[in-house]
């Protein structure tokens, strides 16, 4: 069973390719956009810009600290840098540079963390970004975006470029099926999208887990359970109103993320829920674990990140109401 | 007038500015009862030459003028010196200096970009300034602006890998508008550099990374100016001026006493220090 198949979603090309298209689109539209690469442009697909605008593309090499610093300097010279690499290498190597040279001074730089989550698969845990959202969560000025399909990737790259200030955007190696019409994705930074209505519970998800949540909602509907599904494409600023509305109107929440639960999206959603309108909650994600090299589908099954896992959490949370 | 006389007069007036900056650093850190006066003292002549010796091109009334030369204080703990120089250059009211490290003041313990005019970069976690300078200059190249970037490095921070990542990149991109100045005062926080983490042979290291290297007495303003004029003419390669300095320069009982790193000069000692600087 393909991701999104139960929900009737159309398959797409890999998200990294969509990112490459989206980056080229903003670079074409805005001559202030420059792209910095940590020698992974053929994997992140940032190299699409190198082919078209070589003068605005800089491979800084395998030196993430310097990559971030040079990007911040280009912002200081009035450009809009997209600093690109795998989220694991970029954030873990250059966290202090992101903190000082970008976040603290509210510098207008954009950070692409590619290969987020575990679905890069066979290259294994050394390359996986399972802590990126938690790390970026530790930087108070950093906008955090996690697109869930091709249209939202295009919209997110455009919104990030237009926003004045630091933005982190997470991309993935794998395809995510089409959720939104290709030319019409509602995308406002900080405003979550309700993509399925329901009254029995709300599933709040980001990235890959959004289509899994729609699959889960289709299964639940067959059993007479109507789930609201929220695409939480912005992790900061968090759409508190949407979370509180979900709690009040559906009385139970499941949060699903391809990320560690510790410090992840669920913990942020729970903080808002607990402070404003406590309802039973369940969390689908990785719990204090590093995963291994394997086919992405096998990993999602073994580490309980499938639509079946989301549906099981939904049944459990409804019983706790 | 003969050129040597002009230069002699200029250097003399710059020495007087240096003395005033030292006094400002002392007052700021003594009033704040914290900060890094000794690390600021060692860089005073370098910063005086840059800001007041005609090296840096800036417009204090239009601080973010795109064509400005960049000055990046990579050794962020010398923030008091940066603030004193900016205030003297007219970027902001000198009275601001006395709010260093106080609640609600933009005059932060270490520089934070965006809080004060003229503060180009957030620094204080060491090793980051050179990369920023490269970024500004790659941007300048794209914009067709020919400004320079001057990055003041501490010696201790040359232990950080990012400095050498940046050194490699600056040579790779042939960034000849980049002039680094290394305040080589020979001490880091916990002791002499040669004892804690040896940097030598430093000239060879920078040369091996493709840089033009000059050495100078970092307290001789005339010599600093001559070296900087020479380095401004370098083409296709970045350059570094290794300035041999004395940590705590100007206050005898602080000079070369590494325990004064991050320690203000308080009480009667402050008056003694004031006297020594005035009479220097």
pTM confidence score:
0.96
Q: Do B122 and A96 touch (CB under 8 A)?
A: no
What are the tokens at B153? 């490095």
CATH of domain A193-319: 3.40.50.920
Q: Could you list the residue range(s) of the whole structural domain that residue B121 is in?
A: 3-279
3-state class of B244 per DSSP?
strand
CA dihedral B186, B180, A65, A267 (to 10 degrees): 80
pLDDT band at A56 (very low <50, low <70, confident <90, very high): very high
B136 → closest Cβ in A63, A77, A96: A77
Q: Which residues 46-105 of A have a C-beta within 8 angstroms of B? A: 55-56, 58, 60-61, 63, 65-66, 68-79, 81, 96-97, 99-101, 104-105
- Please identify which residue in the block is written with the tokens 């990046």: B72
Annotation marks residue A64 as catalytic: yes
Whether A94 and A67 have beta carbons less than 8 Å apart is answered as yes
3-state class of A238 per DSSP?
coil
Per-residue confidence in pLDDT tens, chain B, 280 aa: 455 556 677 999 999 999 999 999 999 999 999 999 999 999 999 999 999 999 999 999 999 999 999 999 999 999 999 999 999 999 999 999 999 999 999 999 999 999 999 999 999 999 999 999 999 999 999 999 999 999 999 999 999 999 999 999 999 999 999 999 999 999 999 999 999 999 999 999 999 999 999 999 999 999 999 999 999 999 999 999 999 999 999 999 999 998 988 999 999 999 999 999 999 8
Taking CA–CA distances from B171, the nearest residue in chain A reads A60
**Residues of chain B positioned with their CB less than 8 A from the CB of A58:** 138, 173
Residue A164 near chain B (CB below 8 Å): no
pLDDT at A237: 98
Q: How far apart are CA A130 and CA B226, in angstroms?
A: 53
Complete DSSP assignment for A171-230: --SSB--B-S-TT----BTTB-EEEE--SSEEEEE-THHHHHHHHHHHHHHHTT--EEEE
DSSP state of B254: T
Q: How far apart are CA A67 and CA B133, in angstroms?
A: 12
A63 → closest Cβ in B114, B136, B165: B165
A73 → closest Cβ in B135, B143, B168: B135
Q: What ranges do the domains of chain A cover?
A: 15-170, 193-319
Superfamily of domain A15-170: Thiamin diphosphate (ThDP)-binding fold, Pyr/PP domains (3.40.50.970)
* Letter string b/e over residues B9-37, b meaning 16 or more CB atoms within 10 A of that residue's CB: ebbeebbebbbebbbbbbbbbbbbeebbb
pLDDT at B6: 63
**In Å, how far is A103's CA from the nearest CA of chain B?**
10
What is the arithmetic mean of pLDDT over A78-86? 98
What are the tokens at B168? 């490699």
Q: Which of B114, B163, B132, B128 is nearest to A97 (CA)?
A: B128
Q: Do A66 and B124 touch (CB under 8 A)?
A: no
The chain-wide mean pLDDT, for chain A, equals 97
Same fold, A15-170 and A193-319: yes
Per residue in A274-283, pLDDT (tens digit) is 999 999 999 9
Into how many domains does chain B fold?
A: 1
pLDDT band at A6 (very low <50, low <70, confident <90, very high): very high
Complete DSSP assignment for B176-225: TTEEEEEEE-SEETTEEHHHHS---SHHHHHHHTT-EEEEEETT-HHHHH
């Amino acid at each position: 069973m393909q991701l999104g198949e139960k929900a009737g979603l159309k398959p797409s090309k890999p998200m990294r390719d969509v990112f490459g298209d989206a980056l080229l689109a903003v670079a074409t539209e805005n001559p202030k956009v420059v792209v910095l690469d940590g020698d992974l442009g053929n994997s992140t697909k940032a190299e699409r810009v190198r082919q078209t605008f070589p003068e605005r593309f800089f491979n800084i090499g395998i030196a993430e600290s310097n990559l971030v610093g040079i990007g911040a300097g280009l912002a200081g010279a009035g450009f809009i840098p997209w600093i690109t690499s795998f989220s694991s290498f970029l954030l873990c190597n250059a966290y202090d540079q992101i903190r000082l040279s970008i976040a603290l001074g509210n510098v207008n730089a954009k950070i692409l963390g590619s290969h987020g989550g575990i679905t890069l698969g066979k290259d294994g845990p050394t390359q996986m970004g399972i802590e990126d959202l938690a790390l970026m969560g530790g930087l108070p000025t950093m906008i955090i975006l996690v697109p869930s399909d091709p249209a939202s990737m295009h919209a997110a790259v455009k919104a990030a470029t237009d926003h004045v200030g630091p933005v982190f955007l997470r991309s993935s190696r794998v395809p995510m099926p089409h959720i939104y019409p290709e030319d019409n994705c509602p995308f406002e930074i900080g405003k979550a999208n309700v993509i399925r209505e329901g009254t029995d519970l709300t599933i709040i998800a980001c990235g890959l887990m959004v289509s899994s949540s729609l699959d889960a909602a289709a299964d639940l509907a067959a059993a007479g359970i109507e789930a609201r599904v929220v695409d939480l494409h912005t992790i900061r600023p968090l759409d508190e109103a949407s979370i509180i509305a979900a709690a009040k109107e559906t009385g139970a929440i499941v949060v699903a993320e391809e990320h560690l639960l510790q410090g992840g999206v669920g913990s942020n959603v729970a903080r808002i829920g607990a402070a404003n309108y406590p309802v039973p909650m369940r969390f689908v994600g990785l719990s204090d674990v590093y995963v291994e090299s394997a086919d992405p589908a096998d990993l999602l099954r073994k580490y309980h990140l499938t639509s079946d896992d989301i549906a099981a959490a939904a049944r459990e949370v409804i019983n706790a109401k | 007038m003969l050129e040597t006389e002009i230069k002699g007069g200029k250097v003399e007036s710059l020495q007087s500015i240096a003395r005033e900056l030292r006094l400002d650093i002392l007052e700021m850190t003594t009033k704040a009862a914290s900060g890094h006066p000794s690390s600021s003292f060692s860089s005073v002549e370098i910063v005086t030459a840059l800001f007041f010796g005609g090296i840096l091109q800036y417009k204090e009334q239009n601080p973010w003028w795109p064509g400005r030369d960049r000055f990046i204080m990579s050794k962020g703990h010398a923030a008091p010196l940066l603030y004193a120089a900016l205030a003297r250059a007219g970027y902001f009211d000198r009275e601001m200096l006395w709010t260093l490290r106080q609640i609600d003041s933009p005059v932060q313990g270490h520089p934070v970009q965006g809080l004060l005019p003229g503060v180009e970069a957030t620094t204080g976690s060491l090793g980051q300034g050179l990369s920023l300078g490269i970024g500004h200059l790659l941007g300048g190249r794209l914009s067709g602006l020919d400004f320079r970037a001057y990055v003041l490095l501490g010696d201790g921070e040359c232990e950080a890998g990012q400095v050498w990542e940046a050194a490699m990149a600056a040579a790779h991109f042939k960034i000849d508008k980049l002039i680094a100045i290394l305040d080589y005062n020979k001490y880091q926080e916990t002791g002499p550099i040669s004892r804690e983490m040896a940097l030598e042979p430093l000239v060879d290291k920078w040369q091996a990374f493709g840089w033009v290297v000059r050495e100078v007495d970092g307290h001789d303003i005339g010599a600093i100016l001559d070296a900087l004029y020479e380095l401004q003419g370098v083409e296709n390669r970045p350059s570094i001026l290794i300035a041999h300095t004395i940590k705590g320069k100007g206050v005898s009982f602080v000079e070369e006493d590494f325990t004064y790193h991050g320690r203000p000069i308080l009480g009667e000692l402050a008056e003694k220090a004031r006297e020594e600087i005035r009479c220097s």
